[in-house]
């Protein structure tokens, strides 16, 4: 009976971890890009088209599979009530993914249960669960592939799951490629069913993009590369890496570029990985996969100047896995090791994320969402256009058609970037004449001030300082400790 009960501990840990993290829903910390995906899903619902602005097709969201899942949740729960159920679903899938990972790496049910909970309350795991992005689904699929496809050797999983993974994010070719290479080196043979799955997955995604959108690569990738792409020398690239890695390799982002805690964590992770490798157990196969992927994914994305922190959530978690295994399996002074890890790392990281979630949630939900709600009430004609950046909260809650500065949700602005990048904003305004402009700066002080003064008037100023007050003094202190949000000026076209 005891063994039966213990065998269920990891499942109980999954349930407890998901329930524990529900408290973060109260912070309303939802990533801006999640609302782009959700608006695309609702566009499918309203227009039958994968797009952002009515009947125009565009891959405004990075993830096709998550768009479909968001569409289903909108269909079931309605546009007003789908967010919380979807966030809980994301959290559940991610935590089940950690259950699969624990089965691959640990034997003791108590170790598995602690592993699931401690992984689940790390900052990137909390963000994967509650920020509304596709990474909960992605983590679940990747760990399901390893557990059922490569541990249980189910060939149908090797064929089908790569397709789902690639339809979640096309950059997952990195993960699938690492799995393929490590498997060949380790087992000295080729899994042809996995190759078939990869070929079907890649060809299906590219074919879908081409025949539906008329492009091979998602528009989001093309748009970011077009606007943010820069030609750096080797010296500049090295300098860039030196000033950037600290806030992405580690689990917390500190003010400034250099984060010394990251160096300590990288060294400790490497030492734990080497220690586990020396034990020469069968699980080393999976440790090689997740550790190699963690390093490679971060190196590739940093080299491409990808500074959006969600690209690094899954690698951050996987690189930390050897640390947890090392601590949990200490035969001498295990409780001391575990206590030190929890007191000096896990709890500080959890507290850091609580503060970050509360502060950022205030800046996003209580501030940026209010701009969208203001426009929703002010402008009844939802066919009117607004030029702004970013394209998440404000277009979603205003219901207006949107032109974003990057071109994620509107391709026409990309043509202006190609023609005249320094002046693409004003050129877009003159050509498209959107009814609303939302700018970080005062356009009346711009070099094109005369044009703006002649054709647009200032409708309203939005200031983050006005949203840093709360009747709860603790919350108010957190808001001031980490003020999140940007000042905006809203302009309306003069008829």
Q: Kindly tell me the burial class for residue 91, based on how many C-beta atoms sit within 10 Å of its own C-beta (0-12, 13-18, 19 or more).
A: buried
Nearest to 178 by CA among 58, 347, 295: 295
pLDDT surpassing 60 at residue 4 = no
Do residues 100 and 144 make contact, with C-beta atoms less than 8 angstroms apart? yes
pLDDT surpassing 70 at residue 189 = yes
Give pLDDT, residue 244.
Answer: 60
pLDDT tens digits for range 196-217 = 999 999 999 999 999 999 998 8
Strands of 456-462's sheet in order across: 401-404, 385-388, 436-439, 488-493, 456-462
DSSP string, 138-171: HHHHHHHIIIIIIIS--HHHHHHHHHHHHHH-GG
Give pLDDT, residue 110.
Answer: 94
Q: What average pLDDT does this structure show over 165-185?
A: 95
Give pLDDT, residue 148.
Answer: 97
pLDDT surpassing 80 at residue 173 = yes
Nearest to 151 by CA among 245, 49, 338, 287: 287
Query: How much of the chain, in percent, has pLDDT values that exceed 70?
Result: 92
pLDDT surpassing 60 at residue 3 = no
More confident residue, 334 or 328: 328
pLDDT tens digits for range 405-433 = 988 899 899 898 889 888 999 999 999 99
pLDDT surpassing 80 at residue 251 = no
pLDDT tens digits for range 41-87 = 999 999 999 999 989 999 988 899 999 999 999 999 999 999 999 99
Nearest to 215 by CA among 342, 50, 443, 435: 50
Do residues 413 and 222 make contact, with C-beta atoms less than 8 angstroms apart? no
Do residues 213 and 219 make contact, with C-beta atoms less than 8 angstroms apart? yes
Query: Which pair of tokens denotes residue 112?
Result: 């598995």
Give pLDDT, residue 240.
Answer: 64
What whole-number distance in Å separates Cα of residue 226 and Cα of residue 310?
Answer: 20
What are the residue boundaries of the structural domains of the chain, listed by start? 358-493
pLDDT surpassing 70 at residue 479 = yes
For residue 213, give the DSSP letter. I
Give pLDDT, residue 243.
Answer: 60
Give pLDDT, residue 332.
Answer: 84
pLDDT tens digits for range 255-272 = 555 567 777 888 899 999
3-state class (DSSP) for residue 473: helix
Give pLDDT, residue 246.
Answer: 58
Nearest to 368 by CA among 63, 24, 11, 35: 35
């Amino acid at each position: 009976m005891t063994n039966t009960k213990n065998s269920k501990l990891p499942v109980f840990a999954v349930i407890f971890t998901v329930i524990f993290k529900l408290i973060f829903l109260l912070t309303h910390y939802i990533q801006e890009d999640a609302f782009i995906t959700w608006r695309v899903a609702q566009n499918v619902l309203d227009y039958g088209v994968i797009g952002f602005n009515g009947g125009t097709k565009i891959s405004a969201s990075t993830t096709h599979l998550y768009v479909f899942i968001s569409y289903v949740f909108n269909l079931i729960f309605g546009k007003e009530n789908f967010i919380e159920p979807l966030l809980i679903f994301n959290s559940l899938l991610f935590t089940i993914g950690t259950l699969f990972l624990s089965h691959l790496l640990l034997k003791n049910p108590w170790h598995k249960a602690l592993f699931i909970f401690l992984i689940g309350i790390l900052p990137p795991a909390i963000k994967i669960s509650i920020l509304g992005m596709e990474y909960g689904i992605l983590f679940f699929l990747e760990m399901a592939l390893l557990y059922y496809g490569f541990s249980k050797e189910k060939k149908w999983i090797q064929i089908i799951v790569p397709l789902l993974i690639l339809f979640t994010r096309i950059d997952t070719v990195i993960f699938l490629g690492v799995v393929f290479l490590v498997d060949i080196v380790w087992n000295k043979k080729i899994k042809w069913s996995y190759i078939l799955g990869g070929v079907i997955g890649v060809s299906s995604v590219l074919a879908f993009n081409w025949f539906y959108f008329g492009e091979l690569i998602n528009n989001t990738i093309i748009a970011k590369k077009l606007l943010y792409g820069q030609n750096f020398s080797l010296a500049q690239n090295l300098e860039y890496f030196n000033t950037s890695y600290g806030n992405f390799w580690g689990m917390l982002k500190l003010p400034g570029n250099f984060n010394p805690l990251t160096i300590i964590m990288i060294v400790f992770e490497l030492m734990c990985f080497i220690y586990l490798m020396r034990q020469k157990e069968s699980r080393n196969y999976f440790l090689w996969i997740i550790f190699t992927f963690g390093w490679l994914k971060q190196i590739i994305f940093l080299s491409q100047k990808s500074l959006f922190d969600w690209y690094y959530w899954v690698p951050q978690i996987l690189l930390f896995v050897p640390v947890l295994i090392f601590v949990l399996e200490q035969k001498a002074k295990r409780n001391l090791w575990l206590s030190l890890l929890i007191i000096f790392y896990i709890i500080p990281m959890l507290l850091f994320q609580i503060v970050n979630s509360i502060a950022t949630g205030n800046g996003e939900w209580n501030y940026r969402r209010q701009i969208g709600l203001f426009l929703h009430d002010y402008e009844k004609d939802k066919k009117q256009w607004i030029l702004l950046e970013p394209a998440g909260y404000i277009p979603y809650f205003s219901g207006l058609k949107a032109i974003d500065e990057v071109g994620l949700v509107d391709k026409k602005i990309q043509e202006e970037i190609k023609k005249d990048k320094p002046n693409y904003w004003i050129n877009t305004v003159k050509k498209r004449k959107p009814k609303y402009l939302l700018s970080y700066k005062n356009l009346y002080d711009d070099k094109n001030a005369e044009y703006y003064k002649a054709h647009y008037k200032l409708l309203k100023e939005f200031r983050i300082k006005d949203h840093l007050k709360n009747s709860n003094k603790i919350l108010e202190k957190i808001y001031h400790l980490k003020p999140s949000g940007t000042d905006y000026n809203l302009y309306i076209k003069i008829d």
